[in-house]
Chains A and B, each alone.
Chain A
Amino acid sequence: MLYRILFLTLLGFTFCIADVSAAQPEPAVNIAANTQSGAGFDDFDAAFSEDFSSGKPADEILINDPFEPLNRGVFWVNDKLYFYLFKPIAKGFRLVLPRPARASVRNFYSNLATPIRAGNALLQLKFHDFGTEIYRFVINSTFGVLGFFDPAESVAGVKQRTEDFGQTMGFYGIGHGFYLVLPIVGPSSLRDGIGSFADSFADPLRYADLRTVEYLGVKAVDVENRLSLDHDTYEGIVQDSLDPYLFMRGAYAQRRKAQVGKESYNMNIFEGPVFDSDLLNPFEWFGFD
């Protein structure tokens, strides 16, 4: 009798195990199969750590803001500038230019700013991203007619990377310092403000021999055009949040953290192919893979 029970129990467990492996790919496999290299359980647990910590969580401060009263003042001015100056101009853009044309203008500016993204990818030793940016620049500047179109993404599926000097500093462990709302520019921080200034030296427009007024004009077209493509995000935030200033600050801090944190684990340059795309992969043209 005892043996039979033992046997049945064992049988039961065997079924159990068999069931687990036979029915749906279970959690562990799921994670291994679906995640890109590096991001696994660590990443997964980190995503839940704040929500499910057993102890009493500390008050959440996403970014230091010692100059809050000053920042709120600048925020107020920016808010007025947005509603009474920048937004009406952006609406004018919408009237004058159809959406695809504005998307092309955005692509053009974006393509022009490649040195900023490529340079910062290089500074962070993200050779994969560096390759991606160079590839996009070559494809879009030629097949994409000076960058007005984006065949690198629309045909080959190679997406732009967001890299800037603020992220580069973050990558090497430099924190925000403190939150700063810059006039006209909006949410920034000590680190990211310095980063933007540094990036401006990698901006080809700086060396285009323009007068200051012309330079600012060209920049303003870029900003207004982008604004015209946006789905009234800021209006939504102002309408729906209890305190738009706090909402924007939190969103800025979180977004920058995500941008800095992303792929920072990926220091190994041999981990992936240099180009994302199977199509239009120049390595393949030369018989490499």
Chain B
Amino acid sequence: MKKLLLSLLLVLICSATVFALPDPQQEVAKMVDSVLEVLKRTDLDVAQKKAMVSGRVQKFLNIQSMAERTLGPYWAGATAEQRQQFSDLFRKVLEGTYLNRIDDYSNGTVKYLMQRVKDDKAIVDTSIVQKDLEIPVQYKMIYENGSWQVFDLVIEGVSLIRNYRSSYGEIIRRDGYDGLLALMQKKVTEMENRNSVQ
């Protein structure tokens, strides 16, 4: 009887894993659509739009994983407190960088080219089409906690996280870990001031 139960369980697990995996491409499409929906609304001002986009995008992004991969080799050596501090600042830097540019994309369309899935990792190829410009954007994703989450963007062959990793690593070597955090703090304050001026 035990074996019977076991085999039944096996069947269930098998089918569950297959059916539970949603399409990574659909997940990207959901994210893009939810952002575009906000951008196209005319009843909101820029600050409201930014707040809404930020809230909606965050559930599709794995900020933790982004922060970890940005620090790369330095993540292991950092204390829990330092990691937390870094993750918080990193999220703010990302927000400041991308939310300030959202208006650039309000009248673009997204083409979904292809997706590649292997185990818990996926790459989704898209391109943003805007007037006479077409920018290839690749989403690198991992399957974690029951959903596909974006942990890197590759724009025209340039991986965002890789670029952050190489420049942050250089800053750590030059100014130390605290130097990096101070520089990030300064940048975040600068971004916030710029926002309040606008």
In the bound complex, do residue A243 and residue B171 qualify as a contact, i.e. CB atoms below 8 Å apart?
yes
In the bound complex, do residue A231 and residue B118 qualify as a contact, i.e. CB atoms below 8 Å apart?
no
Chain B: minimal CB distance from A167 (Å): 12
Q: Does A266 interact with chain B (Cβ within 8 Å)?
A: no
Q: Within the assembled complex, what's the spacing in Å between the Cα atoms of A182 and B187? A: 28
In the bound complex, do residue B10 and residue A16 qualify as a contact, i.e. CB atoms below 8 Å apart?
yes
Chain A: minimal CB distance from B111 (Å): 12
Return the contact of B8 from the options A12, A52, A250, A255 (Cβ within 8 A): A12
In the bound complex, do residue A242 and residue B168 qualify as a contact, i.e. CB atoms below 8 Å apart?
yes
Could you tell me which residues of chain B, from 151 to 178, have a CB within 8 Å of some CB in chain A?
151-152, 156-159, 161-163, 165-171, 173
Q: Does B121 interact with chain A (Cβ within 8 Å)?
A: yes
- How many residues does chain B have at the interface if contact means C-beta atoms less than 8 Å apart? 57
Chain A residues near B61: list those with CB within 8 A.
Answer: none
Interface string of A3-39 (1 = CB under 8 A from B): 0110011001101100110011011001100110000
Q: Does A77 interact with chain B (Cβ within 8 Å)?
A: no
Given contacts A30-B116, A60-B72, A254-B162, contact A240 B19 (CB under 8 A): no
Chain A: minimal CB distance from B13 (Å): 9
Interface string of A25-64 (1 = CB under 8 A from B): 0110011001100000100110110111000111111100
In the bound complex, do residue B3 and residue A254 qualify as a contact, i.e. CB atoms below 8 Å apart?
no
Q: Does A99 interact with chain B (Cβ within 8 Å)?
A: yes
Could you tell me which residues of chain B, from 101 to 154, have a CB within 8 Å of some CB in chain A?
101, 104, 114-119, 121, 123, 131-133, 140, 151-152
In the bound complex, do residue A20 and residue B72 qualify as a contact, i.e. CB atoms below 8 Å apart?
no
**B19, B116, B119 — which one has the most chain A CB atoms within 10 A of its CB?**
B116
In the bound complex, do residue B163 and residue A251 qualify as a contact, i.e. CB atoms below 8 Å apart?
yes
Which of under 10, 10 to 19, 20 to 34, or 35 or more describes the interface residues of A? 35 or more
Chain A residues near B117: list those with CB within 8 A.
Answer: 27, 30-31
Q: Does A241 interact with chain B (Cβ within 8 Å)?
A: yes
In the bound complex, do residue B116 and residue A35 qualify as a contact, i.e. CB atoms below 8 Å apart?
yes
In the bound complex, do residue B69 and residue A15 qualify as a contact, i.e. CB atoms below 8 Å apart?
no
Return the contact of B158 from the options A45, A47, A255 (Cβ within 8 A): A255
Q: Does A97 interact with chain B (Cβ within 8 Å)?
A: no
Chain A residues near B15: list those with CB within 8 A.
Answer: 15-16, 19
In the bound complex, do residue A12 and residue B11 qualify as a contact, i.e. CB atoms below 8 Å apart?
yes
Q: Does A145 interact with chain B (Cβ within 8 Å)?
A: no
Q: Within the assembled complex, what's the spacing in Å between the Cα atoms of A60 and B96? A: 25
Apart from A99-B132, A242-B180, A250-B166, 19 more pairs, CB < 8 Å: A5-B7, A13-B10, A15-B14, A15-B15, A16-B10, A20-B14, A23-B18, A26-B18, A27-B119, A31-B116, A48-B121, A59-B73, A60-B162, A229-B132, A239-B191, A241-B167, A242-B167, A254-B158, A255-B157
